[in-house]
Homo-oligomer: A and B are copies of this chain.
């Protein structure tokens, strides 16, 4: 169903970047002005002609582009601080059909999510924008004309209070991204549609910001992964600037014999044994049999060239206690400062 660690032999580090004509293609979940676009720009700046940023329609399209080599890197959303994992992305990493054998995480980016209500008419409350506007904002926009609201499913879960208090019962239409929601509202002639999207999308599609900061929590942050393809059999290449292991994170997936008491604890003990802190754990249905799960763990540390290092030893031990595991990349920890 999915390979073991040994099928992938190298780390991917940004140091393997080499110049190419026209710029290396970076696929991201589009359209332009999406939060993923902001994450992509954070890592691959617009003013650097080494990169050509290319919007893709779905997260799956980004994975496929990187696997096929059409794109050199991909940028996909992974997790939101309020709303949890992006299950679509986890399911692509689960790779149940073996379509993405070479995909690993090679970097991460954090983007502060400040959702706005976008529509066709400006309202006094949209200017000046204040981060602390909250629900106590006195100059409330009139939303009585609103019949439809477009956004990405994750945004519904991040703006529950605003939606319940100001747009209760309004028809919600799911879109593939928040910027796609803005694009659809821009194309809606009725004027009765609004979108939950970003301020950047308002500029991109010529909409007004009716209200800023409609998310439940002020510290709403989405984490993105940069994905790359590793070539099987290629020898490991270490970056010249060797950093301390605490400056890296590693993603690993595994399944266990779910009928064995303590199988999950035994798997996690492997990381404890080498002092590797788990920064997240997620589960998805294994796709093999019902009520059997694939686990994703993220640990502080990196896979090394050769056999040495705590992560390498943990991976070796893990293979002994779990049913199958896969190294899904090691990358620089952007939260370690």
Residue ranges of A at the interface with B (Cβ–Cβ < 8 Å): 80-84, 87, 153, 157, 171-174, 219, 221, 258-266, 268-269, 271-272, 275-285, 287, 290-291, 293, 295, 335
Contact = CB atoms under 8 A, between A and B. Distances in A.
A261 B272 contact: yes
Contacts of A295: 281
B290 A264 contact: no
A279 B258 contact: yes
Contact of A290 (B81, B260, B261): B81
Contact of A285 (B81, B174, B279, B287): B81
A278 B335 CA distance: 32
Copies of this chain present in the complex amount to: 2
A284 B264 CA distance: 18
Contacts of A262: 268-269, 271-272, 275, 277
A319 to B, nearest CB: 17
A27 B227 CA distance: 45
Contacts of A259: 277
Contacts of A277: 258-262
A84 B87 contact: yes
Contact of A281 (B87, B261, B283): B283
A80 B290 CA distance: 9
A87 B277 CA distance: 25
Given A81-B285, A81-B290, 16 more contacts: A80-B285, A82-B285, A84-B284, A84-B285, A153-B153, A219-B290, A258-B277, A258-B278, A261-B277, A262-B268, A265-B272, A279-B291, A280-B283, A281-B281, A281-B293, A291-B335
Nearest to A267: B265
A150 to B, nearest CB: 10
